[in-house]
Amino acid sequence: MKTREMNRDWIATAATLNSALPYLQRYDGAIVVIKLGGHAMGSDEAMESFARDVVLMRQVGVNPVIVHGGGPMINAMLSQLNIQSEFVNGKRVTDRATVEVVEMVLSGLVNKRIVQAINRQGGTAVGLSGKDANLIICDQADPSLGFVGAPSEMNPKILQDLFAHDVIPVIAPLGAGKNGETFNINGDTAAGAIASALKADRLLLLTDVSGVKNAGGEVVTELKAGQIREMTMDGTIAGGMIPKTETALDALHSGVRAVVILDGRAPNAVLLELFTEHGAGSLIRPD
């Protein structure tokens, strides 16, 4: 015969699960696009934790879509192959040799690492790029930058088909040109375009900061699109946060219900954002 006393940790765990019920019901059947990058991809432990969170989301009825970056891995491979990069106004020129390396690293090394991590946790993940099934058709973003693409046409049916079979799509940010080119796409931009095409319930942009901060340096947990514009104009939002908030505004304008900018380094950040009252980052809604 075994005996045990109820301890406070067990009771707290049960209370957490109980309080999550309204949010589990709220997101049943919802599409959530997650941009994965930064420290969330930096270690095997972080990847395993993220993969477990994604599998749990799928288990409770959410349709997650993972869009990933891979800048550090691309830089490492270019250095290893002794391919020199040219920069214009601080941005890398993606020539033909570079885009071949980008595709190799993103669609191969990085994409399959994420797919394997999810599958090891009991999910069913499939790796794609924007070139598959013409998911993302691109125009050239800037001729001076070479093969850098701006999404111009989206064909998300392949993703809907995967949802119907409980498959988790993991997407490398590459697109097809109208003349057969391969284009590299900014990861946030690709995630925003996919979320917009799916009219996703949430777009989660995982970053290396805790969210959008006000002039006092405090994270603002909920904002409207108009407030984002004001904070950008007065310089409160600056630097690397600007392209993320621009992606958020574009997604909201295209029908995404809300965008969250959150710290991907925090354990279980995605679950905290979706399934708790307090969330985990800065929630941005339409005006």
> How far apart are alpha carbons 110 and 204 in whole angstroms?
19
- Token code pair at residue 109: 């090394």
Q: List the alpha helices (DSSP H) in 148-186.
A: 157-164
Residues that constitute the known binding site = 70-71, 92, 184
CB atoms near residue 287 (< 10 Å): 9
How many Å is the Cα radius of gyration of the chain? 20
Backbone φ and ψ for 90, nearest 5 degrees, come out as 80, 0
| Residue closest to 201 by CA, chosen among 13, 33, 22, 19 | 33
* Distant-in-sequence, close-in-space partners of 198: CB < 8 Å, separation ≥ 6: 31, 33, 65, 156, 159, 160
Annotated binding site for substrate: 70-71, 92, 184
